[in-house]
């Protein structure tokens, strides 16, 4: 009887060990599977070119907390990005430098009203090559000796649209239109000024602040152009909606907003 009892005890003990090992293996496999799924999360962020420097800093902070996510940024003119998204280009978030481009995606249902907000603001400034003393204000742009002024293409570049509006409301657009060199985005405007290919350019304050080769000589009166607002929203058809929502929320936290302010943006 004792031998039989001992045999049953040993058998039960072995069964418990096997069950425990099986559970551990299942747990490990589940954990590994979960990790693999997290590692496969990729987000594509279509964002205005003027956001690139601040977003690079925020990206580093985000990835420290979320190493399982891969962030890919598509920087460009807001109008061009909006058209790309409308035509089916992959994107999980859209961070625009203009409300009208953003609103087009809300109107067609690409971005839900509840999944977007006006996050940032900016200023429009006149820049010239460093140490150039010949231009000190917008009125100088009508000078006959000045040949080239650069702004973004108004139809696709919000900064260009604001620049044209401002020059029109200042009453000098007709005098300077023949001198305008159009650029694909504000960073190209900035490059033209830095290299001396144009004598002046109109860009966002945030772009001018990151360059040590240009000087801000004047700021446009905000009343001369449409308010500069940066809305951000989640693409409803995103295959990684929850992860996109996480990054969307991260952009609004205190640390991220502080980075935006350090790069010259205002918080809405």
pLDDT in tens, 58-113: 999 999 999 999 999 999 989 999 999 999 999 999 999 999 999 999 999 999 99
Q: Does residue 16 lie in a domain region?
A: no
The pLDDT, as a whole number, for residue 38 is 53
Q: Could you tell me if 63 and 103 lie in one domain?
A: yes
Q: Could you tell me if 242 and 109 lie in one domain?
A: yes
Distance CA 71, CA 43 (A): 5
- SS3 label, residue 142: helix
Q: Could you tell me if 114 and 129 lie in one domain?
A: no
Quote the Cα angle for 252-257-263, to 5°. Answer: 140
Q: How many domains does the chain have?
A: 2
Q: Could you tell me if 245 and 117 lie in one domain?
A: yes
The pLDDT, as a whole number, for residue 27 is 44
Polymer length in residues for the chain: 268
Please check if 230 is assigned to a binding site.
no
Q: Could you tell me if 253 and 136 lie in one domain?
A: no
Q: Could you tell me if 117 and 128 lie in one domain?
A: no
Strands 69-76 and 93-95 come out as: unpaired
Please check if 204 is assigned to a binding site.
yes
Q: Could you tell me if 101 and 187 lie in one domain?
A: no
CATH of the domain at 203: 3.40.190.10
14's tokens: 């072995």
Please check if 176 is assigned to a binding site.
no
The pLDDT, as a whole number, for residue 30 is 42
Distance CA 103, CA 55 (A): 22
Q: Does residue 3 lie in a domain region?
A: no
Q: Does residue 12 lie in a domain region?
A: no
Nearest to 144 by CA among 199, 63, 201, 190: 199
Q: In which residue ranges of the chain is pLDDT below 50? A: 1-7, 11-14, 18, 21, 23-37
Q: Could you tell me if 197 and 159 lie in one domain?
A: yes
The pLDDT, as a whole number, for residue 17 is 52
The pLDDT, as a whole number, for residue 40 is 77
Please check if 191 is assigned to a binding site.
no
210-229: pLDDT as tens digits: 899 999 999 999 999 999 99
Please check if 33 is assigned to a binding site.
no
Q: Does residue 79 lie in a domain region?
A: yes
Instruction: Give residue 206's domain range.
Output: 124-224
Q: Could you tell me if 241 and 173 lie in one domain?
A: no
pTM of the model: 0.76
């Amino acid at each position: 009887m004792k031998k039989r009892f001992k045999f049953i005890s040993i058998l039960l003990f072995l069964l418990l060990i096997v069950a425990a090992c099986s559970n551990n293996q299942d747990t490990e496999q589940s954990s590994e599977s979960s990790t693999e799924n997290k590692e496969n999360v990729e987000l594509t962020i279509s964002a205005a070119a003027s956001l690139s420097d601040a977003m690079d800093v925020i990206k580093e902070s985000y990835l420290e907390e979320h190493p399982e996510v891969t962030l890919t940024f598509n920087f460009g003119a807001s109008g061009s990005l909006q058209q790309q998204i409308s035509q089916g280009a992959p994107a999980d978030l859209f961070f625009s430098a203009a409300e009208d481009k953003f609103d087009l995606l809300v109107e067609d249902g690409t971005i839900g009203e509840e999944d977007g907000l006006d996050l940032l603001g900016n200023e429009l400034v006149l820049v010239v090559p460093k140490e150039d003393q010949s231009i000190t204000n917008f009125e100088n742009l009508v000078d006959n000796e000045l040949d080239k002024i650069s702004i973004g293409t108004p139809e696709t570049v919000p900064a260009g649209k604001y620049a044209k509006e401002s020059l029109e409301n200042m009453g000098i657009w007709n005098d300077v239109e023949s001198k305008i060199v159009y650029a694909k985005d504000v960073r190209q405007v900035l490059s033209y000024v830095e290299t001396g290919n144009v004598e002046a350019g109109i860009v966002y304050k945030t772009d001018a602040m990151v360059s040590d080769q240009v000087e801000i000589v004047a700021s446009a009166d905000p009343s001369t152009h449409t308010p500069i607002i940066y809305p951000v929203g989640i693409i409803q058809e995103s295959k990684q909606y929850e992860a996109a929502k996480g990054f969307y929320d991260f952009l609004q936290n205190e640390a991220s907003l502080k980075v935006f302010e350090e790069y010259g943006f205002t918080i809405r």
